[in-house]
């Protein structure tokens, strides 16, 4: 989303490659940085930030939504919590391409990561993904992010079988 050169490699059980055991993670040279917060700080230290264009009120609002996503979607044990979280996110997104302004922020990355995983991971029950699918603007948001930032990488990745298997999971 910062337009940095990347190579996306899809691997099963990627969380085991992460120092913290959590995704996302990035490898830059010999350094591995895991989880969104440390990645954001690492990229910011290199002079790139998705939220530079936000004013202080928008930054505070973005942080509140990020906490909502982390608290509700990260530990999505209760379907009602997911529904309430998606409702708030759906209302905030509205008909915009991104949650703030006309460019993605850390919130967009966080929401995409969680919702795309919910929408594309096969589980024994589809209840969770069905809750998310009730919010067509959030599904369209995930589709846009996937197409804009990941579709070209799938063509280049030799290990993209896992990613290709997720194609078609996002409803039209």
Condensed to tens digits (0 to 9), the pLDDT of residues 85-142 reads: 999 999 999 999 999 978 999 999 999 999 999 999 887 778 889 999 999 999 999 9
Distance CA 65, CA 126 (A): 25
Instruction: Say what the pLDDT of residue 171 is.
Output: 54
What is the arithmetic mean of pLDDT over 52-64? 90
Instruction: Say what the pLDDT of residue 41 is.
Output: 85
Percent of the chain with pLDDT over 70: 75
Residue 13 lies in a domain: no
Distance CA 67, CA 109 (A): 13
Per the model's pLDDT, the better-predicted residue between 17 and 115 turns out to be: 115
The C-alpha angle with vertex 169 and arms to 127 and 3, in degrees rounded to 5, equals 115
Residue 171 lies in a domain: no
Residue 10 lies in a domain: no
Residue 62 lies in a domain: yes
Contact yes or no for 82/40 (Cβ under 8 A) = no
Is residue 159's pLDDT more than 50? no
Residue 105 lies in a domain: yes
Confidence of residue 164 (pLDDT cuts 50, 70, 90): very low
Is residue 169's pLDDT more than 80? no
Residue 170 lies in a domain: no
Distance CA 134, CA 147 (A): 21
User: What are the φ/ψ torsions at residue 51 (nearest 5 degrees)?
Assistant: -105, 15
Contact yes or no for 143/97 (Cβ under 8 A) = no
Is residue 145's pLDDT more than 90? yes
Number of domains forming the structure of the chain: 1
Query: What rounded mean pLDDT belongs to the chain?
Result: 80
Instruction: Say what the pLDDT of residue 130 is.
Output: 92
Task: Residue 140: give its domain's CATH number.
Answer: 1.20.1050.10
What is the arithmetic mean of pLDDT over 132-161? 79
Residue 8 lies in a domain: no
Print the domain residue range for 117. 50-157
Distance CA 135, CA 93 (A): 11
Is residue 158's pLDDT more than 90? no
Which DSSP helix (H) or strand (E) runs through 37?
helix 36-45
Per the model's pLDDT, the better-predicted residue between 151 and 73 turns out to be: 151
Instruction: Say what the pLDDT of residue 86 is.
Output: 95
Per the model's pLDDT, the better-predicted residue between 160 and 116 turns out to be: 116
Residue 5 lies in a domain: no
Is residue 40's pLDDT more than 90? no
């Amino acid at each position: 989303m910062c337009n940095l050169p990347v190579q996306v490699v899809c691997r099963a059980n990627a969380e085991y490659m992460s120092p913290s055991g959590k995704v996302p993670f990035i490898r830059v040279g010999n350094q591995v940085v895991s989880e969104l917060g440390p990645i954001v700080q690492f990229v910011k230290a290199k002079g790139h930030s998705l939220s530079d264009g936000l004013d202080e009120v928008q930054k505070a609002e973005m942080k509140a939504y990020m906490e909502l996503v982390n608290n509700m979607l990260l530990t999505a044990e209760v379907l009602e919590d997911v529904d309430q979280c998606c409702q708030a996110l759906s209302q905030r997104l509205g008909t915009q391409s991104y949650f703030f302004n006309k460019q993605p922020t850390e919130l967009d990355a966080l929401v995409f990561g969680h919702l795309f995983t919910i929408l594309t991971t096969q589980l024994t029950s589809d209840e969770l993904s069905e809750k998310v699918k009730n919010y067509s603007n959030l599904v369209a948001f995930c589709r846009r992010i996937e197409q804009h930032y990941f579709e070209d990488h799938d063509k280049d990745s030799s290990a993209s079988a896992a990613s290709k298997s997720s194609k078609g999971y996002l409803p039209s």
